[in-house]
Structure 1
């Protein structure tokens, strides 16, 4: 069994605890938390599992890494603490662990990562003998391996469009929603996540992965942005009220230019309420979120994934699928040579040993 530590118990960490517990080759041996109120609580409670797992949450990072776990699922946020997250991950790699995480945008495409990110990671891998795989929570598979897979079903491909369509009212990260993305802020507020070049920094790596998977030359990456204000105030169950006239919806594209045209596109359409920007794409069933891959070509192919978890929550479902891609890569990474891997290196893993599996 592969001893595995889950570091962080927020939206991603909860799903990671469940994914590790369900994996037949993994054994949950530690859970690291920052909040002192969580210290000592059972991992099953923190992960939304309906039975005790016998693993108490701890804030002792040194002790957890000194125990030399085979793997670490780094689930702590990198959005608002990127330097701290980077330092934590390098620390786990130096301890010899295989690390999987969504926290480092620059390493979605490690071949083109900045030297100041790539070199310390490679040094830590050389020192500890571990490996690193980074994939996004938007989810990463929807912007790299799924479009690559679906593209192989047609005879001609003209454009690949990957969409995340999401209602943020169900997303349990108020600071990210209000301040990073700007929902509920005045229309002259500059959301950090939407500042020029930031979307390309975050999702450009996945555009490059798609280009590499198709064997095409990427000429440049462009961005488009549209924002809409709320016509009237709306109230949400988890984040309170959003005033009329403030930002209520965002639509942007990160475009990979091939032969002078945007042929590889990652598009995000996000709202705080379905009433805002009703003319923009929405989930076919009217739900809170969906991920879609559209292949314009011959034939035209459209694949929509609607995942739910935690009592039907689409946000939790998307997180769970992203975490599943990461956690399901751990046993492959443990068997592989130490290294820095990307989504095209890691094969899609069938649910071997999981069909009908229940806790025993």
Structure 2
């Protein structure tokens, strides 16, 4: 029997998630929440550019709860809205409705997430006998699922190096762009690197990788580099300004016995010419991921993606886990708490 699913959110990440759920062979879309006035009252298929579904978008969360679905796909924007997002999902979990999604980043490695956001969710799962899983790309699939698939064939490990490389010129969320510091002076202390966001999303990922490797890190150290262009440029999020941040490279190193064991880099740019000395995606793609394991044997992998495909993976990774989450024990599920899962949406 198909799992009955409701969706919350239709932004740059949520939209490909919604498209992936329409006519999915294993899931039945029964409800949709959208905040934009121009989307409320419209058919989910019209919003997603697909065939009509009979599911009409609402802006009232109570409407989704009343449907008593098996699972909520929560795709809200988490940055600077952590407490609000936690409050959004708690009523569903307390009602016995499972939750998956690419937001709620503190749950990626729940043992190291910020307690003020992890603990209320854990209590809601206990109350409702429900489960929740947060996935995505980075942190998420690239830093856990993909990485640990490679580690299953590794031997003695000297270091693990994961790098995200993205050209965000076509990304329309200005709030996310501001987190990275784009359009700010080159010495600007960007929230993603210096505020609690970075700790909640990315430091916890490094601690989690170390935990999976069976070691306890000494400390995490970081460097933050920026680059500018000498001219203005156009982007989906607005006008990029000359002589301001147009590319960043953030490097975090988990130190073990005085040496870097886990290197985690995020290279973000808003123009192809910005930061040419920083890592570039494979084959001139908009986005890419590098995972390098040094040891015996050495392993080097690279993945090339369009920006849209990267957003799609972010949404579809947790969506592909819905059946397993619904069958899992109650509570917060880290990725390695899950059996292997994959898409079964075969298109003819």
Q: Report the TM range for the smaller structure's normalisation.
A: over 0.9
For structure 1, the 5+ residue unaligned runs are 308-313
CA deviation string 1:263-305 (max 9, x = no partner): 1122101111121111111012112111121112233222122
Query: In the aligned structure 2, how far is the partner of 1:175 from the partner of 1:155?
Result: 42
The 3 A distance-change label for structure 1 pair 258 and 278 is same
Q: CA deviation at 1:161?
A: 0.8
Query: In the aligned structure 1, how far is the partner of 2:304 from the partner of 2:176?
Result: 22
Match of 1:255 among 253, 256, 259: 253
| TM-score when normalising by structure 1 | 0.90
Q: CA deviation at 1:223?
A: 1.7
Query: In the aligned structure 2, how far is the partner of 1:116 from the partner of 1:174?
Result: 26
Q: CA deviation at 1:336?
A: 1.6
Name the counterpart of 2:241. 243
The answer to whether the 8 Å contact 1:139/1:321 transfers is: no
How many positions carry a matched residue from both structures?
347
Q: CA deviation at 1:218?
A: 2.2
The 3 A distance-change label for structure 1 pair 55 and 266 is same
1:1-360 to 2 correspondences below 5 Å:
1-21=2-22, 23-49=24-50, 51-138=51-138, 140-177=140-177, 179-195=178-194, 198-236=197-235, 238-307=236-305, 314-352=306-344, 354-355=345-346, 357-358=347-348
User: Does 144-153 or 108-117 show the bigger shift?
Assistant: 108-117
Q: CA deviation at 1:196?
A: 5.5
| TM-score when normalising by structure 2 | 0.93
The 3 A distance-change label for structure 1 pair 138 and 316 is farther
Query: In the aligned structure 1, how far is the partner of 2:163 from the partner of 2:335?
Result: 18
CA RMSD of aligned residues (A): 1.8
User: Does 106-115 or 159-168 show the bigger shift?
Assistant: 106-115
For structure 2, the 5+ residue unaligned runs are none
The 3 A distance-change label for structure 1 pair 264 and 210 is same
Q: Give the SS at the match of 1:37.
A: coil
Query: In the aligned structure 2, how far is the partner of 1:84 from the partner of 1:201?
Result: 15
Query: In the aligned structure 2, how far is the partner of 1:180 from the partner of 1:259?
Result: 32
